[in-house]
Amino acid sequence: MSTTDDRPSADADGPEEPTNRPVPADHFREWVSRPYVRRIIVITVVLTLVIIPMAWLTLHFMNLSGAPASPIMSEIEKTMFVFTVVSAPLMAITLAILLYSIFGWGRVSGDKPPMQESPAIRGNRTATILWISVTSVLAFFLVVWGMIELATISAYSYGATPASDQPNSQKPLVVNVTGQQWVWTFEYPDYQGVTSATLVVPKDRPIYFNVTSKDVVHNFWAVEMGIKIDANPGAVTNTGVTPTKLGTFNIRCAELCGLHHAYMETSMKVVKPDEFDSWIREMGGRRTA
């Protein structure tokens, strides 16, 4: 009963099932119209429509800690969301093929011969042109978007420009950040060198950070602000941000730095400008610049 031409019996909803018939180069349309190809396309569309709201929900839960608390973080989140949306169909088609391979063709047992392999569409001109143009457009979009966002974020973060050279009418608040195993220290050079284990800053004022380390490499990460930079021993790195939301946010070390790395965290309090001034007075500081 079994010959190489045996196929599983055709089911009610369509006689077309994968066979090893060759696909001529101009028969791409015929291939696309096959029931199993059409089913995979439908699953891809459905999964895409599921992935996009899931990405939105993930962002929503991430933001429960207060993000985005700066224009930088808003830009980063926008980029994460847009990139997830444009890559959702690719993730969906991969999952669709995987799921259909596992469940769509069913289990083969007994006398039933295994489903024969579908013919390759390798060398098909339509498929090649479609594949190359779609991926090129996607890659081009990601590069252009990425470069624009990088420039935008650099402009917000003050990059490596010293605080005194800022064109901004509002003078940035300088904070010297020092990492050491396993604590952070914040010094305010404009206020007689007030130091604190908690970072307190006024809202809506640019903050300029000089970051360094006393021992090994750490990484200063102000989570909801969207800034992160290495703290290297013997060198100073710079970054900056303008907090635009009142509240208490997280500061973490983002570079594995030893036994208690996971506990190397503190908080960042963004307060109203007058509250900041009274905090400085409480700390015994006075404006020196």
Q: List interacting residues with Cu ion (CB under 5 A).
A: 218, 253, 257, 264
Q: How far is the CB of 182 from Cu ion (least distance, A)?
A: 6
Q: How far is the CB of 183 from Cu ion (least distance, A)?
A: 9
The residue written with tokens 């973490």 in the block is 252
Task: Give the separation between CA 95 and CA 284, rounded to whole angstroms.
Answer: 60
Cβ atoms of residues 210 and 177 within 8 Å: yes
For residue 97, what are its two tokens? Answer: 């093929």
Q: Which one, 79 or 213, has the nearer CB to Cu ion?
A: 213
Task: Give the separation between CA 209 and CA 79, rounded to whole angstroms.
Answer: 24
Q: Which one, 64 or 259, has the nearer CB to Cu ion?
A: 259
Q: Which one, 118 or 267, has the nearer CB to Cu ion?
A: 267
Q: Which one, 268 or 271, has the nearer CB to Cu ion?
A: 268
Q: Which one, 75 or 255, has the nearer CB to Cu ion?
A: 255
Q: Which one, 59 or 183, has the nearer CB to Cu ion?
A: 183
* Residue 96: partners with Cβ closer than 8 Å, 6 or more residues away: 40, 41, 43, 44, 47
Q: How far is the CB of 257 from Cu ion (least distance, A)?
A: 3
Nearest to 96 by CA among 28, 46, 31, 35: 46
Q: How far is the CB of 268 from Cu ion (least distance, A)?
A: 16
Q: How far is the CB of 232 from Cu ion (least distance, A)?
A: 12
Name the burial class of residue 282, with classes exposed (0-12), middle (13-18) and buried (19+) by CB atoms within 10 angstroms of its CB.
exposed
Nearest to 202 by CA among 220, 219, 185, 188: 188
Q: How far is the CB of 247 from Cu ion (least distance, A)?
A: 24
Q: Which one, 48 or 178, has the nearer CB to Cu ion?
A: 178
Q: How far is the CB of 211 from Cu ion (least distance, A)?
A: 12
